[in-house]
């Protein structure tokens, strides 16, 4: 499973890239925003991030706290419908806001199978691991 890769520069700027496997490479850049200032259509924040979504060359000021939902991100950065929820995953990872994680465990043996983004929900999701699948199919 791929996750967004975030590179943090010396000046605090972050460069994010996400290749989730749907044939699209998502990119975005975030800069810390600490000045209280109106930025027209970009919005108004005192503490947050200026995010530039590379795939659409759009930008928005996001507050530093609170959950960032896919729909909100998509509306502000003009994300295409086909890019759900990948663009949201990238933006949340970029500004450290992907707080919700779903843990995947094997329903047969309980083995840890990793995590996936929760998109606002968290908890445990069940799957079947390779070993148990082989045992089930093979018997």
Write out the residues near Zn ion by the rule CB under 5 A.
Answer: 106, 108-109, 111, 129, 132
Residue nearer to Zn ion on the CB measure, 56 or 111: 111
- Alpha-carbon distance 81 to 71, whole Å? 10
| Closest CB 114 distance from Zn ion, rounded Å | 13
| Closest CB 127 distance from Zn ion, rounded Å | 9
Q: H or E stretch including 54? A: none
- The Cβ of residue 79 has, within 10 Å, a number of other Cβ atoms equal to 24
| Closest CB 126 distance from Zn ion, rounded Å | 10
Residue nearer to Zn ion on the CB measure, 25 or 133: 133
Residue nearer to Zn ion on the CB measure, 39 or 128: 128
- Alpha-carbon distance 100 to 122, whole Å? 5
- Alpha-carbon distance 9 to 17, whole Å? 14
């Amino acid at each position: 499973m791929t996750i967004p890769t975030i590179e943090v520069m010396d000046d605090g700027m972050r460069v994010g890239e996400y290749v989730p496997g749907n044939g699209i490479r998502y990119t975005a850049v975030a800069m810390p925003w600490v000045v209280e200032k109106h930025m027209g259509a970009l919005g108004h924040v005192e503490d947050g991030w200026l995010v530039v979504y590379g795939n659409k060359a759009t930008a928005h000021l996001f507050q530093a706290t609170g959950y960032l939902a896919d729909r909100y991100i998509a509306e502000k950065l003009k994300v295409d419908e086909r890019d759900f929820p990948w663009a949201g995953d990238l933006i949340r990872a970029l500004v450290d806001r992907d707080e919700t994680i779903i843990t995947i465990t094997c329903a047969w043996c309980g083995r840890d199978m990793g995590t996936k983004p929760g998109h606002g929900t968290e908890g445990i999701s069940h799957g079947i691991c390779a070993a148990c699948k082989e045992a089930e199919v093979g018997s």
